[in-house]
Structure 1
């Protein structure tokens, strides 16, 4: 398998499987080839699993009916009205600040939070029940405290949404039908 290596000022090594099924390894400038190769070797099973998932997702997407442009515009409009209100409410409850909020149609994520505190949300969330949207908003805002998925991060999510595991499972179980028309 081809692996693309990107070096940057980051502190840790990370692996990403892109939507077009490329394996991208991001590593600090100072990481040696040996350390990077060892890391890739340790993550070989993870890479294979996620590559397979991404290939299956691509296959399903090519077979399914995409969301129409008109519906997409409606989802974006609704999300721009609904999500900022939820972000404000939950940010106050959690006790965090945030930067700008961007709504877009993302193929592989429900939301993201940058190191600067900018939040991105997938407009397709508007097809999910409100409690699921709340979970995604809280999940991203909790990254303002912990930029990882550590035990402490999940504890923070659970403090606000005690049944987050059920909501997370619902989102995983219904991901394919939400993403398509």
Structure 2
């Protein structure tokens, strides 16, 4: 059996079909302290999330014209063409998406995906994600070597990582 507490405080118990209701209730009772602590933690996270107001105006993806989407794509391509040769990597397809959970991603085949919202943030934040994803062309992990490579091209990457986490994607 496993427990999970969502951001909204909802408790979900994952239980195999064959387990008796009495046993599930006993399990929940034995984890009452953990559940209370997890709910408190999630409530605090929710408050922090609501307290932070992003200073950036980011239009809804569906409201963007084709011209605006083309400008966003060109902006990413310009940054990619700047950093890829410096890092010594190539890439395949580039897609700009309305991603709900990621700022960017890199496949093992070299396909890059970026969240359109980065276009509306300060250049150094967009550059951090570009460098991060291009660095995955050498290290497909988040090892010490990966972060050392990112740090060669973005000395403030830890700060940029924190800023992006604070901004959040769903703002």
Task: Provide the secondary structure at the position in 2 that maps to 1:149.
Answer: coil
Q: Does 1:128 align with 2:127?
A: no
Question: Of residues 95, 101, 111 in structure 1, which corresponds to 2:104?
Answer: 111
Name stretches of at least 5 consecutive residues in structure 1 with no aligned partner.
3-47, 61-65
**Runs of 4+ in structure 1 displaced over 6 angstroms?**
none
Task: Provide the secondary structure at the position in 2 that maps to 1:109.
Answer: coil
Query: Is the contact between residue 87 and residue 137 of structure 1 (CA under 8 Å) also seen in structure 2?
Result: yes
**Count of aligned pairs:** 125
Deviation at 1:71, TM superposition (A): 4.1
Give per-residue Cα distances to partners, 1:80-103, cap 9 Å, x unaligned: 120011111100000011111111
Question: Of residues 135, 138, 144 in structure 2, which corresponds to 1:151?
Answer: 144
Deviation at 1:77, TM superposition (A): 3.2
Aligned-partner Cα distance in 1 for 2:65–2:100 = 13
Aligned-partner Cα distance in 2 for 1:106–1:77 = 17
Aligned-partner Cα distance in 1 for 2:162–2:60 = 23
Task: Provide the secondary structure at the position in 1 that maps to 2:159.
Answer: helix
Name stretches of at least 5 consecutive residues in structure 2 with no aligned partner.
3-37, 51-58
**Normalised by the size of structure 1, how large is the TM-score?**
0.60
Report the CA distance shift for 1:67/1:142 in structure 2 as closer, same or farther (over 3 A). same
Question: Of residues 92, 105, 114 in structure 2, which corresponds to 1:99?
Answer: 92
**Aligned residue number for residue 43 of structure 1:** none
Aligned-partner Cα distance in 1 for 2:158–2:147 = 10
Aligned-partner Cα distance in 2 for 1:67–1:119 = 22
Deviation at 1:74, TM superposition (A): 6.7
Task: Provide the secondary structure at the position in 2 that maps to 1:103.
Answer: strand
Aligned-partner Cα distance in 2 for 1:93–1:114 = 20
Aligned-partner Cα distance in 2 for 1:131–1:81 = 17
Query: Is the contact between residue 99 and residue 116 of structure 1 (CA under 8 Å) also seen in structure 2?
Result: yes
Query: Is the contact between residue 61 and residue 98 of structure 2 (CA under 8 Å) also seen in structure 1?
Result: no
